[in-house]
């Protein structure tokens, strides 16, 4: 059985790549630092090529697609080699497509009603987004008693400093963040810095 995305590492790097040529060295640095699950967001034209390259050349990485907002996104990213899908929110149509994709997925939620609706559909693992803006740790803690079966990957505004308070919650499996892939490090191809930041993130435990 495929392990849950929430259990691969305490932090899932959220990656925005302008140049697909950076994908493989970046992924290798993240894996070397102990973060195998990598979410490549569909925010740039390089994203699909980046997913394809990581899937083909970095076997220890578990590459996923983020910012999945359409049925086409689901098909294109899975065809490119994505091994999990992450959406900022969900609709019935998008949820059906993600369920049919054959890979794990984390639909985005920010309200209690959305969580209940997903539980009704048999989905227990979700992305909580935008985490800080939507209520942060206090909101997630409040959900844990009435909805203990829901598990989350909070993403959005989380830092190395705030991540431990999220990871300490019983309903949080991991957090998503981009602090270990700073834009300036990617721009200068400072993969050693990325690896060091990934190592610090991988050491976080709830």
Q: Hey, which residues are catalytic here?
A: 39, 127
Biggest alpha carbon distance in the chain? 47
* Alpha-carbon gap, residue 133 to 117, rounded angstroms: 21
| The residue to which tokens 């076997």 are assigned | 59
Please give the full DSSP string across 120-189, using - where no structure is assigned. Answer: HTT--EEEETTTTTTTHHHHHHHHHTT-TT-EEEEBSS--TTTHHHHHTSTTB--EEE-TTS-HHHHHTT
Rg (CA), the chain: 16
**Is the backbone peptide bond immediately before 169 cis, with ω within 30 degrees of 0?**
no
Closest to 195 measured CA to CA, from 35, 15, 59: 35
């Amino acid at each position: 059985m495929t392990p849950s995305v929430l259990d691969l590492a305490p932090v899932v790097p959220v990656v925005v790549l302008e140049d697909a040529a950076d994908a493989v060295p970046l992924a290798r640095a993240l894996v070397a630092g102990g973060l195998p699950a990598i979410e490549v967001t569909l925010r740039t034209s390089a994203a699909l090529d980046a997913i394809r390259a990581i899937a083909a050349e970095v076997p220890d990485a578990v590459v996923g697609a983020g910012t999945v907002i359409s049925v086409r996104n689901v098909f294109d990213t899975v065809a490119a080699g994505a091994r999990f899908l992450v959406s900022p929110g969900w609709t019935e149509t998008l949820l059906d497509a993600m369920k049919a994709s054959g890979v794990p997925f984390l639909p985005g939620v920010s309200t209690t009603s959305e969580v209940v609706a997903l539980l009704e559909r048999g989905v227990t693992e979700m992305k909580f987004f935008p985490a800080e803006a939507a209520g942060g740790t206090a909101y997630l803690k409040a959900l844990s008693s009435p909805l203990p079966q829901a598990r989350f990957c909070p993403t959005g505004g989380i830092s190395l400093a705030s991540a431990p308070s999220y990871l300490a919650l019983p309903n949080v499996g991991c957090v998503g963040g981009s602090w270990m892939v700073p834009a300036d490090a990617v721009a200068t191809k400072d993969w050693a810095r990325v690896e060091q930041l990934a190592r610090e993130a991988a050491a976080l435990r709830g």
